[in-house]
Amino acid sequence: MAYELPALPYDYTALEPCITKSTLEFHHDKHHAAYVKKYNDAVNGTPHDSKSIEEVIKEIAGDSQKSGLFNNAAQAWNHSFYWKCMKPSGGGTPTGDLAAKIDADFGSFDKFVEAFKNAGATQFGSGWAWLVLDGGTLKVTKTLNAQNPLTSGQTPLLTMDVWEHAYYLDYQNRRPDYIGDFLGKLVNWDFVAENLAAA
């Protein structure tokens, strides 16, 4: 049951000028594709082959003997989720139940933005910033390298990739500028709202 590399949900130029075609070609076609291939190669012919990638991630998390498999599984999943978190002409503010939940749990949308920006900017080295549902409450969290909230019993609603390959061709060392553009111009709030509704 091979895990397939999903096609991008938009054209390679659709997120410009924030994220350029060259970044998406390297990030999706090279980095993400490599995680997917390594994961499929590793589970081929093993008991993991018949399980969903989410099951495998949860099952082997924390097992130091399976860290290579975990890293490729989680990175394959994280990237598939990340692409859906963006859309052309995204950003702005959410509406409806999601907006009300953000206001209730963070105090205001601005306070959520502050927390999310801080999580992305202060993640030392490679990793991810997340908006998650944890025990019925929205929280902002960050994870190192391939880690993701699935292993903590949290429900991911939104993620932002802060590995350098996500932004370096376009922003060089200006990670805060990438974070600002992600929130202001790229976030697909419809996808985030769907994730909240399904949780």
11 is in an annotated binding site: no
28 is in an annotated binding site: no
Q: Return the HEC string of the chain.
A: CCCCCCCCCCCCCCCCCCCCHHHHHHHHHHHHHHHHHHHHHHHCCCHHHHCCHHHHHHHHCCCHHHHHHHHHHHHHHHHHHHHHCECCCCCCCCCHHHHHHHHHHHCCHHHHHHHHHHHHHHCCCCEEEEEEEECCEEEEEEEECCCCHHHHCCEEEEEEECCHHHCHHHHCCCHHHHHHHHHHHHECHHHHHHHHHHC
161 is in an annotated binding site: yes
27 is in an annotated binding site: yes
- Binding annotation for Mn(2+): 27, 79, 161, 165
Residues of the binding site: 27, 79, 161, 165
